Amino acid sequence: ELFLSRQIGAMAARVATVAVWQGKCLPPTWEATLIEAKETAARSSQSGAEVLLFPELFACSYDQSLSKKEVYESSRCLQSEELKAVSALAKEFKLCIGFPYPERASEPGSMLVYNSCAVFSAAGEIVANYRKVQLFGDWENSCFEAGCECYDSCFDLPLSSGICIRCGILICFDIEFPEPARCLAMQGGAELLLVPTALGHEKVKETTPCRVLPTRAVENHVFIMYSNFEGSFAQKNGGTAEFCGLSAILAPNAEELARADTTVSDEPKLLTATLKLDCHYDDNIRRNPYLTVASKHWEDGLYRPLASANPTESRGPAREKLAMDALHSST
């Protein structure tokens, strides 16, 4: 059942051109965000792209000096006028748009904010709204509520050409864990992962776009769109944030269909690539059937220990750190 839609789709030889934005963090206003979104949507449409992705918290910038109150003030509900403006852009340019933003909870009186990514179809309809589950660092954990989506919650993204792509969303730190991507592929049937990020400029952090992402693509037979900021950004408190760029579009065999570098440009970059959805998938599943083998192993119970695994009972540095954290929190 997992692969039925792909096998049927292979008869139609689906092809789609996609685009990923990379540039400097914008001024933290909705006005600046929507101006850049419109200009980029126009460029993407002219290039023939049918799907466009922006980086994590593209709306109002990834500024770790903002207080929880300031983050709340910049947040918007999914049904807000600002998000309706993005919907109108998708419809105007017949372009699917992955739009990350600070999402204000719609419940009356709630002060909750989520690190979210809304996805609009080429008809301007909201087809998905994912809330980041794996929040990173003190700032995110103090300003945002973690999402509780199941990692099998994929969605069908209808393109202007008439074809559909089975998609999943992970935001930044989410992709650094193997389980979420595997769940999206095995249980959700994902073919394409949309991964907005705000990754800093440190040598160790470049491991994620250059090593982790290709691994996720190969082991799950998925395409990946990965959008990051580049260069330095003057934060509100006078500090400076650095982003490493290295946005990419990857094929299921880890081939880099498009890759940005770490250089900083005056104008935002727009990476584009053509996804041969069925050809890549069929070739890779024949070469290395990870998902079919993994599915059988689950049925046979070989991975049952994972369901009851407790990292505090494992050996090594991880256990020691957790024990020390628990000790400090109790004193």
Each residue's pLDDT tens digit, 271-328: 999 999 987 666 666 777 877 777 777 788 777 776 666 665 555 665 566 666 665 6
pLDDT at residue 317 in the model: 60
In 3D, which of 120, 50, 52, 55 has the Cα closest to residue 82? 120
The number of beta carbons lying within 10 Å of the beta carbon of residue 211 is 9
Mind telling me the catalytic residues? 56, 132, 172
List, for residues 60-119, the tens digit of each pLDDT value: 899 999 999 999 999 999 999 999 999 999 999 999 999 999 999 987 778 899 999 999
Q: Where residue 4 falls among pLDDT bands split at 50, 70, 90?
A: very low
CA 41 to chain centre: 18
CA 95, CA 124: separation in Å to the nearest integer?
A: 8
Contact yes or no for 221/178 (Cβ under 8 A): no
Residue 3 has pLDDT above 50, yes or no: no
User: Taking the model in full, what pTM does it have?
Assistant: 0.89
List, for residues 135-167, the tens digit of each pLDDT value: 999 999 999 999 987 677 899 999 999 999 999
Residue 331 has pLDDT above 70, yes or no: no
Contact yes or no for 162/147 (Cβ under 8 A): no
pLDDT at residue 278 in the model: 87
pLDDT at residue 297 in the model: 74
List, for residues 217-248, the tens digit of each pLDDT value: 999 999 999 999 999 999 988 889 999 999 99
List, for residues 169-190, the tens digit of each pLDDT value: 999 999 999 999 999 998 899 9
HEC string for the chain: CCCHHHHHHHCCCCEEEEEEEEECCCCCCHHHHHHHHHHHHHHHHHCCCCEEECCCCCCCCCCCCCCHHHHHHHCECCCCHHHHHHHHHHHHHCCEEEEEEEEECCCCCCCCEEEEEEEECCCCCEEEEEECCCCCHHHHHHHCECCCCCCCCCEEEECCCCCEEEEEECCHHHHHCHHHHHHHHHCCCCCEEEEECCCECCHHHHHHHHHHHHHHHHHHCCEEEEECEEEEEECCCCCEEEEECCCEEECCCCCEEEECCCCCCCCCEEEEEEEEHHHHHHHHHHHCCHHHHHHHHHHHCCCHHHHCCCHHHCCCHHHHHHHHHHHHHCC
pLDDT at residue 5 in the model: 47
